[in-house]
Amino acid sequence: MDRRQKKSREAIFTAFSGLLGEKSYNKITVQEIIDKANVGRTTFYAHFETKDALLRELCEELFGHIVASARDRTHTHGLYSNASAPNSVFCHLLQHLRENDKNIASLLSCENSEIFLRYFKNSLNELVESEFAAHADGGRREVPRDFLINHMSGSFVEMVQWWVAHGMEQTPEELDRYFRAVIEPVM
């Protein structure tokens, strides 16, 4: 993709994100997106087949970036200039959310939050599987692995939603402790 195409794509993402913060997803039209992005209809459709495809790609990019950043603990965005990165991948993920990387916290609390929470949970499944399910207690074989992964991802998303709703007052380290205190007995 050349620079011009990347710039158009980013303008569409930015316009769409802004509109999502203002109104319901179902009330946003492609025309509003292209007007706000200052691109033509042909340009929009060259990048995205539909508004749903735009939503899917926006979520994949946002959550993919956040989850990949959490996995790569050397990718700190300057978060740990005075200290080392946390050992917990979930604490690292919470740090990125606290930094409101790519305006993700506002998307998780806007009118359209259920859409983003679903995508966020799906993005977390792979991370949860690699971090926790591999350490599952052999005595818990009566609980299917995919059930545990779903449960832990859902619990993490609910915790983030609670955190955002309460003004993100707790530190990522506190939330990480809370989360691990709740899920480690399950493992």
- The tens place of each residue's pLDDT in the chain, 187 residues long, gives 789 889 999 999 999 988 887 888 888 999 999 999 999 999 999 999 999 899 888 888 877 777 777 666 555 544 444 444 446 778 888 887 887 655 666 677 666 677 777 888 888 887 787 766 556 554 456 778 888 888 888 999 889 888 888 888 999 999 999 998 988 777 6
Tell me how far apart the alpha carbons of residues 30 and 128 are, in angstroms, rounded to a whole number: 35
For tokens 């946003």, name the residue.
28
Positive or negative: CA dihedral 157, 162, 168, 170: negative
Tell me how far apart the alpha carbons of residues 180 and 79 are, in angstroms, rounded to a whole number: 22
Q: Is the pTM of this model over 0.75?
A: no
Indicate the DSSP class of residue 170. Answer: S
Q: What stretches of 72-144 show up as alpha helix (H) in DSSP?
A: 89-98, 104-109, 113-131
Contact status, residue 42 vs residue 77, Cβ threshold 8 Å: no
Chain centroid to CA 124: how far?
8
Residue 60: both structure tokens together: 């994949």
For tokens 């993100």, name the residue.
168
Contact status, residue 112 vs residue 23, Cβ threshold 8 Å: no
